[in-house]
Structure 1
Amino acid sequence: MAQSPTPQAGELVIAPEPRSALDTAIEAARIAEAVIKGNDGREHVLLPERMQLYDISDPNRLPSRVKQLVTVDDRASLCAYANRYSTDRSIIIADFDALTVSARIDWHAHNQDDSVPEAGHNAHAVTLKLRPSEEFARWDAVEGKLLPQEEFARFLEENSVDIGFPEAATMIEISRDFEATVGQVYKSSVRLDNGDRKLVFETDTKVQNGVIIPEKFTLAIPIYNGEDAEELTCLFRWRAQGGGAVGLGFQWHRVEYQRRAHFAQIATSASEETRLPVYMGRFA
């Protein structure tokens, strides 16, 4: 194998220039990591020839886009966000089953011109997730249940501020009448001319005490969190139980229709405030 000639005695040896060696090292480092990615997603490669940038980006790559799914707690926030980022593509989809009103910011292009509609990414959206109000959740938790007299009376008194008719003072009086009959024996009930009921109790000394309960009462509470209060109708329910006791409770009257109607109102109002078309339904 040939070897590098060994310098002879008296021969002048010229060492490499330091600056040239540095430039060579820098060039080698650039070649080692030749691909450069820009902030816009494009890629370039740095080649030794005059150190020029050559575009090697995929010509079929999708343009950069926003990927953001936001969940808000009230209608005002939904509309404010949609008004800031919406385009002529944006739409609103309202799903009652999921209790969501969603503004899809980057939806598909419309087909109002001669060109083929361009598919949207559907990766940027703001969604209002409706929740029951604190008041509605509290009443709904005991709806359809028959509670002992004392427990139901306490519940009425604690939540009397939610009651519209009869007025709160009347409902508190009714609850106290119920508490007064705890331990007494239920004997009978009488239906009054106005549809109310009079429940008759009897003490050990055969003294009778009557409690009049209205056929129905109304609540003035919001159904959904952050929404205005509306009037809900409750039907009084009672049942004689063993040992002369009485179970008391109530049932909603057509409240499900009101829930659906109020949901549609929220979706329609959001459409009006954002000027976006609204569709009632869901997407896969």
Structure 2
Amino acid sequence: MSKPVPPEATPPATPAAHSPREALDTAIRAAYLANPVITGADGRQSIVLPREFSLQPIPDEARLPAIPAQRVTVDDRASLVTYANRFRDDRSLIVADFDALEIAAHLDWHPHNTHEDFLTSGAQKHSVTLKLRPSEEFARWDDMEGKFVPQAEFARFLEENSSDVGFPEAATMIEISRDFEATVGQSYKSSVRLDNGDRKLVFETDTKVQNGVTIPQKFTLSIPIYNGEQPDTLVALFRWRAMGGGVIALGFQWHRVEYQRRAHFAQIAASAAEDTGLPWIMGRKA
């Protein structure tokens, strides 16, 4: 009969081999412990704690809540109103900058002075801006304004754009342009001011035959100043200049159109404010 083996002589049991899954879990735990801070898609940070590796937010008393950050540019007044009405709140404000031809609704402006959060700063990250552009018709006439060009060139310009003219009517302006064309090659002799303020320019042919062209003192245009807006009635003053060799140059100048540009700009801003229920100011954001 063999003797019993003392307990201290019993060899220790061989530990079970780790499975591949256990090895992977150990590697993941080691990676978390090496870099426990995780930044989320919204910028918030969390830390992985050893207890079941659950995410716990890191307190940050100075962090502001998430806000929309978007700056949209639109091409017409209706789009400005639609966007502003969708995202406006009690902080929103419209700023109209005439120098930049921009009307912007700042949707996350500073709180109203009656609000409990008054004296806190708005994020100013969310806005919609209407960038006004001259209409095609206004740009075409404005490019010609102040220039003196040969009568044939001016006649062609009048005929091509006669549909923009309000008074005298388009047919009269075309007739005037054709009268100018008929005097090309003739020598300018004199001008006569008529009772109604119009001018009659007298030309003479080589055979001493005289022809007269009557030009109005002024004419009006019915064209929109800004793209997408309704037409305005603009006044243009006819101008002429005697050149050497019996030739004259023709042109026109705006009459108080700059006042109309500013007034129409303010009307667009006021209309947008009315349609959105937002206050508005004339100025610019620093």
* Residues 42, 57 of structure 1: 8 Å contact kept: no
User: CA separation in 2, counterparts of 1:12 and 1:82?
Assistant: 76
The yes-or-no answer on 1:245 pairing with 2:251 is: no
* Residues 112, 118 of structure 2: 8 Å contact kept: no
Q: Which whole-Å deviations, capped at 9, do the CAs of 1:122-148 have from their partners, x for residues lacking one? A: 111111111110000000001011110
Match of residue 107 from structure 1 = 109
Q: Partner amino acid for 2:203?
A: F
Gaps of 5+ in 2: 1-10
Match of residue 219 from structure 2 = 217
Is 101-110 or 44-53 further displaced after alignment?
A: 44-53
Root-mean-square deviation (CA, aligned residues, Å) is 1.8
Shift in Å at residue 72 of structure 1?
Answer: 0.8
Equivalent residue for 2:179, pick from 177, 180, 194: 177
Q: Which whole-Å deviations, capped at 9, do the CAs of 1:234-261 have from their partners, x for residues lacking one? A: 0000011001100000000111111111
Shift in Å at residue 33 of structure 1?
Answer: 4.0
Q: Partner amino acid for 2:169?
A: E
Q: Which whole-Å deviations, capped at 9, do the CAs of 1:66-106 have from their partners, x for residues lacking one? A: 11111111100000000001111000011111111110000
Match of residue 94 from structure 2 = 92
Match of residue 79 from structure 1 = 81
Aligned ranges 1:147-166 → 2 under 5 Å: 147-166=149-168
Gaps of 5+ in 1: 1-9
Q: Partner amino acid for 2:214?
A: I
Decide whether aligned partners of structure 1 residues 45 and 168 sit closer, same or farther in structure 2, where only a CA change above 3 A counts: same
User: CA separation in 2, counterparts of 1:113 and 1:14?
Assistant: 69
Match of residue 132 from structure 2 = 130
| 2:61 counterpart SS class | coil
Equivalent residue for 2:257, pick from 248, 255, 258: 255
Q: Which whole-Å deviations, capped at 9, do the CAs of 1:165-186 have from their partners, x for residues lacking one? A: 1111110010010000000000
* Residues 84, 105 of structure 2: 8 Å contact kept: yes
Match of residue 238 from structure 2 = 236
| 1:138 counterpart SS class | helix
* Residues 233, 252 of structure 1: 8 Å contact kept: yes
Shift in Å at residue 47 of structure 1?
Answer: 2.2
User: CA separation in 1, counterparts of 2:134 and 2:118?
Assistant: 43
